[in-house]
Amino acid sequence: MLFKITKLFFFFLIISFSTSAKAVTFQNYSQLFECIENHNTFFGYKKNLTKCFEKKGITIEKDSLKLIKNEYGIIDNIIDLNLPKEETIKIKKPKKKLSEIFKKIFDPDFKEIEKKESIFNKPSALSDEYKEKSFSLNDKNFKDLNNYIKRNPEDIYAITEDINILTYNNQYLSEFKREEILLNVYNSFDVAILASKVPPPAEAAAFGGVGSMVAVAAIAAAAGGGGGGGGSSAPTLSFAISSTSVGECDSDVTVTANLTAAHSSNVTITYTVGGTATKDTDYAISSTTSTIVAGATSGAVTINPTNDTTAETSETVTLAASVSGVSTTGSTSTTITIHDYVLKCNTTAFSEGSTSDQNTIKNRSTWTAIEAGGAVHPYEQMGIHKVQSFSSSGVNLTGVGETIHVADFNCDDNHDIYNNKTITNLDDGDAGESTFDAATASDNHCQGVAMFAAGDVGARTGVAPDADLVLSSIPNFSGFSGDDFAVDLDAARAAGAIASNQSWGMGGTTNNATEVETFRVNNGLTEREAFATLRHGSTSSSSLAAWDQYIAAMVNYQSTGVMVWANANDTTESDISAMAALPFWYDGTKHSSDLTKAWLTTNVTQYTGDADLSDAVESEFTLRGNKCGTMKEYCLTVDGWDTFQATFVSGGVSQYSTGRISFGSSWSAPMVSGGIALMAQAFPTHTPEQLVDRILASANNVFFTPEGNTTFTTHGASIRHGYHDTWGHGVPDFYAAMSPITSDSNPASSFGFATPSGSGGSSGSGSVPFSQVEKLPVSETGMIASSSFGDGIMNGLKGKTAYAYDALNGGFKYNVNDFINYDALTEQKIDHTLDQEINYLKNFKFSENKTAKDFNVYAGEFINFRDKYNRGLSLTLDQPNIALQNFNLYNNKDYKNPFTSENKGIGFNNKFYFFGNNILLGYNNSKFDSLTSVNENLVVPMETLALSVNLDSDNFDLLSFTTGLIKEENTFLLSEGSGAFDLNDKDNLSNFYGFNFSKSLSSLGNIYFSSMFGNSKLDNAKNSLIVDTSNVLSSSFEVNYELKNLFSNDQLNISLSQPNRVEQGDMTFRFMGLADKNGVLPYQDHKVSLSPSGRQKDLTVSYYKNHSRNLKTGIKAVLTDDLGHVKNNSLDTNLLLSTSYNF
pLDDT attached to residue 978: 84
- 1094 plus 982 within the same structural domain: yes
Contact 1073, 1079 (CB under 8 A): no
Residues ≥6 apart with Cβ < 8 Å to 241: 207, 209, 211, 213, 214, 216, 253, 254, 255, 256, 334, 336
Q: How far apart are CA 135 and CA 141, in angstroms?
A: 12
Q: How far apart are CA 398 and CA 415, in angstroms?
A: 20
The CA distances from residue 1115 to 832, 1102, 1105, in Å, are 12, 6, 9
- 1045 plus 946 within the same structural domain: yes
**Which residue type sits at 1115?**
I
Q: Write out pLDDT tens, residues 1035-1090.
A: 999 999 999 888 888 999 999 999 999 999 999 999 888 777 677 888 888 999 99
Contact 930, 939 (CB under 8 A): no
Domain limit, last residue, from 710, 737, 764:
737
For 622, other C-beta atoms within 10 Å of its C-beta total: 14
Contact 645, 656 (CB under 8 A): yes
Contact 966, 943 (CB under 8 A): yes
- 310 plus 436 within the same structural domain: no
- 186 plus 224 within the same structural domain: no
Contact 927, 968 (CB under 8 A): no
Query: Is 719 a member of any domain?
Result: yes
Q: How far apart are CA 145 and CA 161, in angstroms?
A: 14
Across 896-987, the runs of DSSP E, i.e. the strands, are: 906-914, 917-925, 942-950, 958-968, 971-972, 975-978
Contact 601, 580 (CB under 8 A): yes
Does residue 38 or residue 20 have the better pLDDT? 38
Nearest by Cα to 29 from 39, 37, 19, 17: 37
pLDDT attached to residue 943: 92
Q: Write out pLDDT tens, residues 918-967.
A: 899 999 998 876 554 444 445 678 899 999 999 988 889 899 999 999 99
Q: How far apart are CA 593 and CA 599, in angstroms?
A: 14
pLDDT attached to residue 95: 47
Backbone angles phi, psi at 498, to 5 degrees: -80, -20
- 638 plus 696 within the same structural domain: yes
pLDDT attached to residue 497: 97
Q: How far apart are CA 655 and CA 649, in angstroms?
A: 6
* Count of CA atoms in the C-beta half-sphere (13 A) of 144: 13
Q: How far apart are CA 158 and CA 166, in angstroms?
A: 12
Mean pLDDT of the chain: 81
Nearest by Cα to 710 from 810, 634, 638: 634
CATH number at residue 1071: 2.40.160
- 3-state SS class at 998: strand
Domain limit, last residue, from 685, 702, 737:
737
Q: Is the pLDDT of residue 726 over 90?
A: yes
Q: Write out pLDDT tens, residues 38-68.
A: 776 787 788 888 888 888 878 888 888 889 9
Query: Is 746 a member of any domain?
Result: no
Mean pLDDT for 221-236 is 41
- 3-state SS class at 631: helix
Q: Is the pLDDT of residue 775 over 50?
A: yes
**Full residue range of the structural domain in which residue 305 is found:** 218-340
Mean pLDDT for 166-185 is 82
- Residue 233's pLDDT band, with cuts at 50, 70 and 90, is low
- Residue 249's pLDDT band, with cuts at 50, 70 and 90, is low
Query: Is 366 a member of any domain?
Result: no
Q: Is the pLDDT of residue 125 over 70?
A: no
- 168 plus 245 within the same structural domain: no
Q: How far apart are CA 437 and CA 445, in angstroms?
A: 11
pLDDT attached to residue 86: 42
Q: How far apart are CA 683 and CA 392, in angstroms?
A: 12
Query: Is 766 a member of any domain?
Result: no
Query: Is 804 a member of any domain?
Result: no
Contact 622, 608 (CB under 8 A): yes
Nearest by Cα to 149 from 19, 299, 29: 19
- 3-state SS class at 788: helix
- 384 plus 304 within the same structural domain: no
Q: Write out pLDDT tens, residues 571-619.
A: 999 999 999 999 999 999 989 999 999 999 999 999 999 999 989 999 9
**Which residue type sits at 152?**
N
Query: Is 780 a member of any domain?
Result: no
Q: Which of 129-143, 308-322, 394-408, 893-907 shows the lowest per-residue confidence on average (mean pLDDT)?
A: 129-143
Domain limit, last residue, from 683, 710, 737:
737
- Residue 517's pLDDT band, with cuts at 50, 70 and 90, is very high
Mean pLDDT for 304-316 is 65
pLDDT attached to residue 3: 33
pLDDT attached to residue 662: 75
Q: Is the pLDDT of residue 860 over 70?
A: yes
Query: Is 18 a member of any domain?
Result: no
Q: Is the pLDDT of residue 464 over 90?
A: yes
Query: Is 893 a member of any domain?
Result: yes
Contact 569, 607 (CB under 8 A): no
- 191 plus 222 within the same structural domain: no
- 43 plus 191 within the same structural domain: yes
pLDDT attached to residue 208: 37
CATH number at residue 477: 3.40.50.200
Q: How far apart are CA 220 and CA 208, in angstroms?
A: 16
- 720 plus 831 within the same structural domain: no
Mean pLDDT for 750-765 is 60
- Residue 93's pLDDT band, with cuts at 50, 70 and 90, is very low
Q: Write out pLDDT tens, residues 363-418.
A: 999 999 998 877 899 999 999 999 999 998 889 999 999 999 999 999 999 999 99
Residues ≥6 apart with Cβ < 8 Å to 322: 203, 204, 205, 206, 269, 270, 272
- 1096 plus 1018 within the same structural domain: yes
Q: Is the pLDDT of residue 204 over 70?
A: no
**Domain count across the chain:** 4
Backbone angles phi, psi at 704, to 5 degrees: -135, 165
Long-range contacts of 283-286 (CB under 8 A, 24+ apart): 283/317, 283/338
- 310 plus 458 within the same structural domain: no
CATH number at residue 310: 2.60.40.2030
pLDDT attached to residue 768: 81
* Predicted model pTM: 0.53
